[in-house]
A and B are shown apart, each in its own frame.
Chain A
Amino acid sequence: MVPATRLRILKSAVFILCLLPAANLIWLAVNNGLGANPIEAVTRGLGDWALRLLLVTLAVTPLRRLSGWTWPAPLRRMLGLFAFTYVVLHLSMYLGVDQLFDWETIWADVLKRRYITIGMLTFVLLVPLAVTSTKAMIRRLGGRRWQRLHRLVYPIAALAVLHYYLMVKADIRLPLIHGAILALLLVLRLPPRGWVCLPPQGRWSLRRPGA
């Protein structure tokens, strides 16, 4: 198969995979499968997948560094944009369906409730990344500046985990698991002592003597 065709198939498959959680929620909603509090179930389900997809996006680079595989790299933008899409849907559920655009209450929530403050901040920081995700924007900003801007994703992911942690009442196991995965993904970005990142795959390799 031609590499371009292979990439197209891969992208289509991942695209469909990323739609499945949303499709599942719709299916459950139609079939009365969301339980006693469907609004809460949908809001939380969308938030869960926003965070999961953000972590998957952040797994692309470590995966390449460790394995040398180059095929996940072209998927990164789509994964990131899907994470953003789930964030937007998650936020829309809260604003539109849960609070019915009662802006006074929403603003009071943003100011008063730390997990909502953090959640809103996470969304606000994500917007410039989503807006600058196109090829044209990369060109306009220049690779270096674009990369610097997009490093925002690290604090954003940490804020997303914090948002989850603060929302939970007592059982902090799941937020901690997500936090641990994020920490691992960030640590894996650091080169092991004496190793360097070698082109063309960008894989970690032992520094050759004298190199």
Chain B
Amino acid sequence: MLIRPRPFLAEREVTDQALYLDRRRFLANTATLAATVLTTRAGLAAESPLRTPFSTDEERTPWDSVTSYNNFYEFGTDKADPARTAGTLRVTPWAVAVEGECRKPGTIALEDLLAPSLIEERIYRLRCVEGWSMVIPWRGVALAALLDRFEPTAQAKFVGFQTLHDPFQMPGQRRPVLAWPYVEGLRLDEAMHPLTFLATGLYGRDLPAQNGAPLRLVVPWKYGFKSIKSIVRIRFTREQPPTSWNLSAPSEYGFYSNVNPDVDHPRWSQKTERRIGEFRRRKTLPFNGYAEQVASLYTGLDLRKDF
């Protein structure tokens, strides 16, 4: 009898379930994937075949911190609340309504919404408006390609997003801390930017409820509250859509809310931030360090006025 030692297989080396189940889609995606891998530094590509060049190689914030320190007011206003109380969220089945200025609106099951997309891992910095930051390995899909499938019309200038509104599943919605449901929005060109991401997982696992399961936005150059969680509605609009924190305190939270060390929040200096897990504060970078990729979106805009 031949006995072989079992080869060590780390979780991150396991092919994503969605991919290995769908061989045809996998083949179709191979070309894109090959291009991605070729443009990625060899070391990163070897660690995860799906990692894109957008990822940072900074030290990742531990899983425990990412999943226990959350601003998700639908589950309580203390940052420890969501990890405790978000168990009431039911994420299957989940459907997303896509509507407004597009040719193919409709309500679509989450699996179908994600099916044609390439699942990627992206390690992004996340900067909270409260002056702390994390580095998070998200799993998910680029927003642009997904939105394109609904064929936004020429009238579509903005995209609005809405969180689930269900006070039974989301006990924090039983008190009017914010005007529920939570809403957020982006200019269409921001939504279509290659950095803009829809996350379905982190650290290679499905998103925990407290992190915005089953589907959340990730816009790494904006303050964290722009990255709306548990999305049930996406709407293409002509006008700038309302956004929750802007409605709550317009002088404190603008529509854009780009990370900007030069524009102070009345409550917190935005010059520095504490990276969770670190002792010393570090300098906050314009656009959270993504200026090279996104600054051109805002040429001609006075970022002090349009904060």
Q: Choose one: B132, B248, B281; the contact of A170 (CB below 8 Å).
A: B248
Q: A35-B68, A36-B65, A36-B68 are in contact. Are A113 and B73 (CB under 8 A)?
A: no
Can you name the residue of chain A whose Cβ is closest to the Cβ of B69?
A36
Query: What is the bound-complex CA distance between A98 and B69, given in angstroms?
Result: 18
Query: What is the bound-complex CA distance between A109 and B277, given in angstroms?
Result: 24
Q: Which residues of A contact B80 (CB under 8 A)?
A: 35
Q: A35-B69, A36-B64 are in contact. Are A108 and B269 (CB under 8 A)?
A: yes
Q: Which residues of A contact B65 (CB under 8 A)?
A: 36
Contact mask for chain A residues 37-58; partner B; CB cutoff 8 A; 1 contact, 0 none: 1011000000000000000000
User: Is B157's beta carbon under 8 Å from chain A?
Assistant: no
User: Is A135's beta carbon under 8 Å from chain B?
Assistant: no
Query: What is the bound-complex CA distance between A98 and B279, given in angstroms?
Result: 8
Contact status B267-A170, CB under 8 Å:
no
Instruction: Name the distance in Å between B2's Cβ and chain A's nearest Cβ.
Output: 46
Contact status B269-A39, CB under 8 Å:
no
Q: A36-B64, A37-B132, A170-B178 are in contact. Are A114 and B69 (CB under 8 A)?
A: no
Contact mask for chain A residues 85-102; partner B; CB cutoff 8 A; 1 contact, 0 none: 000000000000011100
- Considering the complex, which residues of chain B in the window 33-88 have a beta carbon less than 8 Å from any beta carbon of chain A? 61, 64-65, 68-69, 73, 77, 79-80
Contact status A113-B68, CB under 8 Å:
no
Q: Which residues of B contact A98 (CB under 8 A)?
A: 281
Instruction: Name the distance in Å between B258's Cβ and chain A's nearest Cβ.
Output: 19
Contact status A113-B69, CB under 8 Å:
no
Contact status B276-A37, CB under 8 Å:
yes
Instruction: Name the distance in Å between B283's Cβ and chain A's nearest Cβ.
Output: 12
Q: Which residues of A contact B291 (CB under 8 A)?
A: none
Query: What is the bound-complex CA distance between A40 and B79, given in angstroms?
Result: 11
Instruction: Name the distance in Å between B280's Cβ and chain A's nearest Cβ.
Output: 7
User: Is A193's beta carbon under 8 Å from chain B?
Assistant: no
Query: What is the bound-complex CA distance between A202 and B266, given in angstroms?
Result: 46
- Considering the complex, which residues of chain A in the window 152-183 have a beta carbon less than 8 Å from any beta carbon of chain B? 166-167, 169-171, 173
User: Is B177's beta carbon under 8 Å from chain A?
Assistant: yes
- Residue among A112, A166, A170 facing the most chain B CB atoms (10 A cut-off): A170
Instruction: Name the distance in Å between A47's Cβ and chain B's nearest Cβ.
Output: 15
Contact status A114-B68, CB under 8 Å:
no
Instruction: Name the distance in Å between A60's Cβ and chain B's nearest Cβ.
Output: 30
- Considering the complex, which residues of chain B in the window 236-284 have a beta carbon less than 8 Å from any beta carbon of chain A? 248-249, 264, 266-269, 271-272, 274, 276-277, 279-281
Instruction: Name the distance in Å between B244's Cβ and chain A's nearest Cβ.
Output: 10
Contact status A100-B276, CB under 8 Å:
no
Contact mask for chain A residues 103-127; partner B; CB cutoff 8 A; 1 contact, 0 none: 0010011001111000000000000
Contact mask for chain A residues 123-158; partner B; CB cutoff 8 A; 1 contact, 0 none: 000000000000000000000000000000000000
Query: What is the bound-complex CA distance between A37 and B34, given in angstroms?
Result: 40
Contact status B266-A105, CB under 8 Å:
no
Q: Choose one: A37, A40, A114; the contact of B266 (CB below 8 Å).
A: A114
Q: Which residues of B contact A109 (CB under 8 A)?
A: 269
Instruction: Name the distance in Å between B41's Cβ and chain A's nearest Cβ.
Output: 30
- Residue among A37, A105, A169 facing the most chain B CB atoms (10 A cut-off): A169
Query: What is the bound-complex CA distance between A40 and B71, given in angstroms?
Result: 14
Query: What is the bound-complex CA distance between A170 and B68, given in angstroms?
Result: 20
Instruction: Name the distance in Å between A34's Cβ and chain B's nearest Cβ.
Output: 10
Q: Which residues of A contact B130 (CB under 8 A)?
A: 169
Q: Which residues of A contact B276 (CB under 8 A)?
A: 36-37
What are the 8 A-B residue pairs with the smallest beta carbon separation, nearest first? Answer: A36-B69, A36-B65, A171-B77, A171-B177, A36-B276, A170-B177, A170-B248, A36-B68
Given contacts A37-B79, A171-B77, 15 further A-B contacts (CB under 8 A): A36-B79, A36-B277, A37-B132, A37-B274, A39-B274, A98-B281, A99-B281, A105-B271, A108-B269, A109-B269, A112-B264, A112-B269, A169-B130, A170-B178, A170-B249
